C-alpha cells in the first residue's frame, strides 16, 4: 500500500498513515489436522504486540514481522475457514463474494451491535493435496478504506513523550492482568493514574472529558516506529462511524513483554481524516486485505510438507543459527559463513572435531586431506570413525571422514583426498620426486579451490608447505596444535604486500631455525599424540569460533588483534566484530582451566611467511620447494637466519667493554 501525504488548509503538515499489514504464520500441526470437509468452520487466531531486536553492532532497533498465528494469547481474531476438495474448486472459488460476506459481518458488528469483537475478523481458504503433502492457502484480513485517507499530525512519537512512566506502567499492569485488543484511556480525576474501559463504553466513559484527555488504544502487532499495525484501520472506521470527531488521540500499545527497567516501546499520535467538516459514515466503505504471496503478488501461498528427509534436514539444521540471528544478532551474516569453503589438512582428532563444529555453523563445503588409515585406537577419540572402519587394515581417514559427514547431514559437500604433504627435513629420493611434484600440484589446486585452510597435522614440519602456500595465495590459515594439557589456536597473518596495519606472526615466526625432521627415531609414546581426551574438542571448537569471528569482522583477514587488556577494561574501538574481539593466538592451559590471548608481530626472516620465502616460491616453484625438502640449511640461508648468530656475536663485540674499570675493587 503506498504511503499517502498532503498539506492541509491550515498549513500544518499531515502525513498519510501506512498500516503494517498482517503476515500469516501457520504452524505445521494445523495442516496435519486438516480434513477433507468443505464445510465452513470458525476457528481462532491471535497476535501479540510488535517485537523488535537490537542490532548489537549499530544499536538500532530492527522490527520483526507483524505475524498473526494461533499461538499467542493477546489480541484475537475470528477466522472464517473454508477447505476445498480439489484444486479446481479452490481456483474457481468466488473470492469476491467470500470477502464481501466477511466485510458485511464486520460492518454489521459496528453499525448494529456497536461492538469491536469482529474488527479483527479474517478469512482463510485452503486446498489440501494430501498425496503430495502440499497445502494451498490464501488469507484475507479485511480492512475498510477511509476516504479521504487517515493522516497523522506530525509523526508518531514515543508514548513516554505524552504520558509519564507511572501512567504507562499502570496501563501495562492492567493489560497483563486482563488483555484487551482495543480500550479507552483517560486520566483519573485528582490522580496521576489512568482509568481504562472497553471501546464500547466510549460515550459514557468520555462524558465530561476534554478531547485532549481522551485516548483510544489498541494492541499493536507492529514494531515499526512510524507504522501502526493493521487492526487500527477498522478501529478508526468504528470510531468515525459511531463517534465522529475532528481527530483522535491514538495509543499504539506495544509493551506486553517489557523487561524490568527497559524503556516503553509504545507509540502515540493524533490522527484525523483529511480537512473540512466531519462527515458521518452511513454506508459500508470498500475494503482491502487479501494477503500477498512470497513473490509479493496477490495470490495463494503453498506449504510444502513433503516428507523428503534430506530437504527437511536442510531446513532444520540451521534453525539454531537462524534463531541466533533473529533473537540476538540481526547483523550476523550466516550466508558468508555457509559459503566459506574449508580445507582441513589432517583428519585425525582435531580434524574430526573441527569438521563437526563447522557443520554446526552451517558450512557446506568441507574437504579432508590425510594419508593415514583408521586404526583401532582412533574411534574412541575421533568422532567421525567407527569400529568397522578399522577392519581389514583400516579405511583411508580422509575419505571415511568425508563419507561420515554426508551420513550426518546429506546436504554437506564433503570429499577426502589421500595425500602425503612433503616436509622440510625429509629428503625426497630421486625416484619419488615426480610423485612429490604431483602431490604439491594437488595441494596447490586444493588451496585455490578453498577459502580457509586448517592446519591440523601431528608434526611441526608438515605445516610448513601449506603455510607458505596460504600466505602466497592470500588464504585464511587457521592453526591448532595440542600438548598434553595445553593447546595453541592461532590465525596466521597475511604476507607483507597484503597487510593493513601491524602484520601478525605465523606458526614459524618465533623460530630461529628452519623446521626440521621431528619424526625419525621417535619412541611409541612420542609417535602417539598423548593429550587429555577433552583437549582436542576444546581446541577445535576454539579454532572454528575464531574463524567465524574473523569472517564476521568488517576487515576480514586483516582484522586487528586486540591489545592486552586489564580485567574489566573495554576493547579498543574497531577491534570488535559482530561476535566480539578477534584474537591472534589463544593458548589454553587445561590444568588451570585458563586461556591466554597472545599477539605477536611478524618476523621478516620467518621461514614460513616472509616475503623472501614467498617470492622464491612464486618465482622458482617446485625447484625451490625441493631444495627446502632436501637441503637442511637452505631455508636458513635463504632468509638470513644463518647470519643471526654471527650478527649477535658482532653486536657483543661492538660493545665498548672497559676491562680495567673496577679492578681495584677485587
The DSSP secondary structure of 420-439, one letter per residue, reads PPP-TTSPPPGGGHHHHHHH
Pair type for strands 452-455 and 476-482: parallel
211 contacts 245 by C-beta, under 8 angstroms:
yes
Q: Which three cell numbers stand for residue 74?
A: 493477546
The pLDDT, as a whole number, for residue 42 is: 58
The pLDDT, as a whole number, for residue 55 is: 52
Q: Which three cell numbers stand for residue 438?
A: 604431483
Q: Which three cell numbers stand for residue 89?
A: 474448486
The pLDDT, as a whole number, for residue 257 is: 75
The pLDDT, as a whole number, for residue 314 is: 75
**List 252, 342, 352, 528, catalytic entry:** 528
Instruction: Name the helix (H) or strand (E) containing 44.
Output: strand 40-47
535 contacts 482 by C-beta, under 8 angstroms:
yes
Q: Which three cell numbers stand for residue 664?
A: 681495584
Burial 617-649 (b: 16+ CB within 10 A, else e): beeeebebbbbbbbbeebbbebbebbeeeeeee
Beta strands of 112-230 (E only): which ranges? 122-129, 134-144, 150-153, 157-158, 182-187, 194-197, 215-219
The pLDDT, as a whole number, for residue 132 is: 76
Tens digit of each residue's pLDDT (9 = 90 or more) over 556-595: 999 999 887 655 566 666 668 889 899 999 999 999 999 9
Does the annotation mark 390 as catalytic? Answer: no
The pLDDT, as a whole number, for residue 522 is: 60
* Secondary structure (3-state) at 164: coil
Instruction: Tell me the backbone φ, ψ of residue 63, rounded to 5 degrees.
Output: -75, 135
220 contacts 49 by C-beta, under 8 angstroms:
yes
Listed as ranges, residues in the chain with pLDDT below 70 are 1-14, 34-42, 50-80, 275-281, 307, 312, 315, 521-529, 565-575, 645, 655-666
What pTM value is reported for the model? 0.58
* Secondary structure (3-state) at 607: coil
In the block, residue with C-alpha cell 485516548: 215
Instruction: Name the helix (H) or strand (E) containing 538.
Output: helix 535-552
The pLDDT, as a whole number, for residue 299 is: 92
The pLDDT, as a whole number, for residue 9 is: 32
DSSP string covering 339-375 = T-EEEEE--SHHHHHHHHHHHHTT--EEEEEE--B--
Q: Which three cell numbers stand for residue 285?
A: 466503505
The pLDDT, as a whole number, for residue 189 is: 86
Beta-carbon contacts of residue 290 (< 8 Å; ≥ 6 apart)? 95, 99, 138, 139, 140, 298
Residue 63, strand partner residues: 52
The pLDDT, as a whole number, for residue 5 is: 33
Q: Which three cell numbers stand for residue 537?
A: 574438542
Q: How far is residue 483's CA from residue 487's CA, in Å, rounded to a whole number?
A: 6
Amino acid at each position: 500500500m503506498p504511503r499517502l501525504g498532503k498539506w492541509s488548509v491550515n498549513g500544518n503538515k499531515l502525513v498519510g498513515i501506512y498500516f503494517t499489514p498482517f503476515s500469516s504464520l501457520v504452524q505445521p500441526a494445523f495442516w496435519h489436522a486438516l480434513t477433507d470437509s468443505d464445510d465452513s468452520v470458525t476457528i481462532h487466531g491471535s497476535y501479540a504486540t510488535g517485537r523488535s531486536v537490537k542490532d548489537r553492532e549499530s544499536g538500532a532497533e530492527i522490527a520483526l514481522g507483524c505475524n498473526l498465528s494461533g499461538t499467542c494469547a493477546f489480541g484475537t481474531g475470528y477466522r472464517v475457514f473454508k477447505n476445498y476438495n480439489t484444486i479446481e474448486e479452490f481456483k474457481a472459488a468466488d473470492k469476491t463474494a467470500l470477502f464481501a460476506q466477511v466485510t458485511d459481518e464486520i460492518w454489521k458488528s459496528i453499525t448494529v451491535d456497536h461492538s469491536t469483537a469482529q474488527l479483527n475478523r479474517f478469512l482463510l481458504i485452503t486446498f489440501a493435496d494430501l498425496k503430495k503433502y502440499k497445502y494451498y492457502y490464501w488469507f484475507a484480513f479485511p480492512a475498510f478504506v477511509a476516504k479521504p485517507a487517515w493522516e497523522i499530525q506530525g509523526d508518531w512519537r514515543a508514548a513516554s513523550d505524552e504520558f509519564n512512566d507511572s501512567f504507562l506502567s499502570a496501563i501495562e499492569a492492567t493489560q497483563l492482568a486482563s488483555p484487551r485488543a482495543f480500550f479507552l484511556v483517560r486520566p483519573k480525576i485528582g490522580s496521576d493514574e489512568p482509568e481504562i474501559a472497553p471501546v464500547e463504553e466510549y460515550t459514557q466513559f468520555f462524558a465530561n472529558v476534554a478531547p485532549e484527555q481522551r485516548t483510544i488504544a489498541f494492541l499493536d502487532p507492529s514494531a515499526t516506529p512510524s507504522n501502526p499495525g493493521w487492526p487500527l484501520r477498522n478501529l478508526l472506521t468504528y470510531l468515525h462511524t459511531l463517534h465522529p470527531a475532528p481527530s483522535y488521540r491514538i495509543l499504539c500499545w506495544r509493551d506486553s513483554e517489557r523487561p524490568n527497567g527497559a524503556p516503553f516501546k509504545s507509540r502515540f499520535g493524533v490522527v484525523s481524516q483529511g480537512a473540512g467538516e466531519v462527515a458521518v459514515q452511513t454506508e459500508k466503505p470498500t475494503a482491502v486485505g487479501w494477503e500477498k504471496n512470497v513473490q509479493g503478488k496477490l495470490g495463494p501461498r503453498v506449504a510444502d510438507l513433503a516428507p523428503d528427509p534430506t530437504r527437511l534436514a536442510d531446513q532444520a539444521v540451521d534453525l539454531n543459527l537462524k534463531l541466533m540471528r533473529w533473537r540476538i544478532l540481526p547483523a550476523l551474516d550466516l550466508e558468508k559463513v555457509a559459503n566459506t569453503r574449508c580445507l582441513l589438512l589432517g583428519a585425525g582428532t582435531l580434524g574430526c572435531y573441527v569438521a563437526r563444529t563447522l557443520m554446526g555453523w552451517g558450512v557446506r563445503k568441507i574437504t579432508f586431506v590425510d594419508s593415514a588409515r583408521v586404526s583401532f585406537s582412533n574411534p574412541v577419540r575421533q568422532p567421525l570413525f567407527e569400529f568397522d572402519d578399522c577392519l581389514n587394515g583400516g579405511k583411508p581417514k580422509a575419505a571415511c571422514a568425508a563419507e561420515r559427514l554426508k551420513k550426518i547431514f546429506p546436504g554437506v559437500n564433503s570429499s577426502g583426498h589421500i595425500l602425503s604433504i612433503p616436509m622440510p627435513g625429509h629428503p625426497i629420493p630421486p625416484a619419488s620426486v615426480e610423485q612429490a611434484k604431483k602431490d604439491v600440484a594437488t595441494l596447490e589446486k586444493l588451496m585455490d579451490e578453498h577459502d580457509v585452510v586448517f592446519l591440523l597435522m601431528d608434526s611441526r614440519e608438515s605445516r610448513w608447505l601449506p603455510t607458505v602456500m596460504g600466505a602466497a595465495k592470500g588464504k585464511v590459515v587457521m592453526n591448532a596444535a595440542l600438548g598434553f594439557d595445553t593447546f595453541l589456536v592461532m590465525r596466521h597473518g597475511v604476507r607483507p604486500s597484503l597487510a593493513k596495519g601491524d602484520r601478525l606472526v605465523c606458526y614459524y615466526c618465533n623460530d630461529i631455525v628452519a623446521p626440521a625432521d621431528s619424526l625419525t627415531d621417535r619412541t611409541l609414546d612420542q609417535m602417539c599424540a598423548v593429550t587429555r581426551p577433552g583437549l582436542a574438542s576444546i581446541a577445535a571448537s576454539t579454532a572454528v569460533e575464531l574463524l567465524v569471528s574473523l569472517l564476521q569482522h568488517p576487515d576480514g583477514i586483516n582484522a586487528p588483534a586486540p591489545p592486552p587488556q586489564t580485567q574489566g577494561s573495554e576493547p579498543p574501538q574497531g577491534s570488535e566484530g559482530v561476535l566480539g574481539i578477534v584474537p591472534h593466538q589463544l593458548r589454553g592451559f587445561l590444568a588451570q582451566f585458563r586461556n591466554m590471548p597472545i599477539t605477536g608481530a611478524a618476523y621478516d626472516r620467518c621461514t614460513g611467511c616472509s616475503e623472501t620465502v614467498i617470492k622464491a616460491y612464486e618465482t622458482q616453484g617446485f625447484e625451490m620447494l625441493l631444495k627446502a625438502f632436501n637441503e637442511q640449511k637452505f631455508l636458513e640461508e635463504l632468509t638470513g637466519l644463518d647470519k643471526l648468530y654471527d650478527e649477535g656475536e658482532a653486536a657483543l663485540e661492538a660493545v665498548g667493554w672497559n676491562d680495567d674499570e673496577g679492578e681495584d675493587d677485587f
